[in-house]
């Protein structure tokens, strides 16, 4: 039996220049010319060289540093007003439930929390990759089946305690044109990708309300804002998840102890989209699951609610909806988004090529 390819092998080896992306450039800028501390070093350096305040280099650099500082403060004030105060996250008291946590992004988050001593319950129909992990309990469950979710919720409450963090991560991809999708495939897609989140929230939210402590994380997708060809069912379910998150957040507005977090990542190098080629590596780089996991874990640990969008283009993709239809069509054609699924193989093919079940 041969070992299955690692996640990093889902994409072909890239030339060094392909590692240059708009996200990398923005990250450098955020740590330099868009960082308040760095920008104030510039006028200080001019003063050290005996520049007077009426000299253009000095007063212009002060003005720029002040502008960046105001933007930095405004960003934090906006976040506080939008998402409220942080909630306390106590590692020893938290119980984390992750759907679809047997592989990919969900498994990474489960393993990180498990290694840190946090109690984790993974709900999936597949056995976790790599076997057992410390402090991670596996519950075989089809989260698209309401009866199974209800039964597993009772088991988790009995075995581990009241869940305080729910990460709705389970998802499947069919990758077919609408007319090629069977009725069963469509129903399974919506049960797994969408209805499962309703089922888990209804089971675990009441316990969080009693404790006045909890975090609900919804893993949607950038495809919730732009639906490519061959992804009608997947994109529709992810768009519905965004609406579910918005409504849930509004309903919990008077519950400061419970935070909601929406995650809309671009393409991840996981088995789910095996064979898909990103339309443009500079503007739409493929994300490593570990990078997304770090952002999610940091938000949960910090007791934060809000919205995580990465890479950069995913924060602005919604603008397309207000552009003229002709411009939208041109952007779709030029980006190649509707041709990206041409090489799609998916997890099933990866299972066959790897000669083992993932």
**CA–CA distance, 124 with 297 (Å, rounded to integer):** 20
3 burial via Cβ count (<10 Å: 0-12, 13-18, 19+):
exposed
Q: How many CB atoms lie within 10 A of CB 358?
A: 17
Active site residue 234: yes
**Helix spans in the chain (H):** 22-30, 36-48, 56-83, 104-115, 146-159, 183-190, 196-211, 232-251, 289-301, 313-316, 325-335, 346-354
Spell out the residues 6+ positions from residue 104 whose beta carbon is closer than 8 angstroms to its own: 7, 268, 270, 271, 272, 289
Helix (H/G/I), strand (E/B), else coil: 306: strand
Q: What is the DSSP string of 7-23?
A: GGGSS----GGGG--HH
Structural contact between residues 144 and 168, judged by C-beta atoms closer than 8 angstroms: no
Q: Tell me the two tokens of residue 228.
A: 């490519």
Q: Tell me the two tokens of residue 29.
A: 């800028």
Task: Give me the phi and psi of 247, to 5 degrees please.
Answer: -65, -40
Check 113, 234, 274, 313 and give the catalytic one.
Answer: 234
**CA–CA distance, 269 with 25 (Å, rounded to integer):** 21
Of residues 195, 197, 319, the one with CA closest to residue 262: 197
Q: Which residues are catalytic?
A: 234
């Amino acid at each position: 039996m041969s070992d299955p390819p690692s996640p990093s092998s889902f994409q072909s080896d890239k030339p060094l220049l392909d590692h240059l992306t708009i996200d990398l450039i923005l990250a450098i800028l955020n740590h330099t010319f868009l960082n308040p501390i760095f920008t104030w070093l510039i006028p200080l350096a001019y003063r050290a060289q005996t520049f007077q305040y009426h000299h253009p280099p000095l007063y212009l650099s002060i003005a720029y540093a002040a502008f960046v500082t105001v933007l930095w403060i405004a960003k934090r004030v906006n976040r506080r007003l939008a998402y409220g105060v942080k909630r306390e996250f106590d590692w020893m008291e938290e119980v984390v439930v992750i759907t679809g946590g047997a592989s990919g992004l969900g498994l990474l988050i489960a393993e990180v929390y498990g290694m840190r001593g946090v109690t984790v319950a993974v709900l999936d129909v597949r056995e976790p990759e790599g076997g057992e992990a410390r402090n991670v309990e596996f519950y075989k469950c089809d989260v698209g089946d309401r009866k199974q979710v209800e039964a597993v919720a009772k088991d988790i409450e009995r075995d581990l305690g009241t869940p305080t963090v729910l990460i709705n991560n389970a998802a499947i991809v069919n990758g077919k044109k609408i007319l090629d999708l069977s009725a069963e495939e469509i129903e399974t897609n919506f049960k797994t990708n969408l209805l499962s989140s309703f089922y888990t929230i209804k089971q675990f939210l009441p316990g969080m309300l009693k404790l006045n402590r909890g975090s609900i994380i919804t893993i949607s997708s950038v495809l919730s804002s732009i639906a490519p060809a061959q992804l009608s069912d997947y994109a529709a379910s992810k768009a519905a998840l965004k609406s579910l998150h918005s409504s849930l957040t509004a309903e919990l507005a008077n519950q400061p102890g419970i935070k909601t977090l929406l995650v809309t990542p671009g393409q991840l190098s996981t088995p789910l989209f095996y064979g898909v080629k990103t339309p443009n590596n500079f503007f739409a780089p493929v994300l490593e699951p570990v990078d997304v996991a770090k952002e999610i874990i940091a938000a949960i640990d910090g007791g934060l609610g809000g919205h995580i969008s990465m890479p950069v283009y995913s924060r602005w993709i919604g603008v397309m909806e207000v552009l003229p239809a002709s411009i939208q069509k041109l952007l779709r054609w030029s980006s190649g988004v509707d041709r990206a699924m041409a090489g799609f193989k998916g997890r099933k093919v990866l299972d066959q090529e790897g000669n083992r079940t993932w």
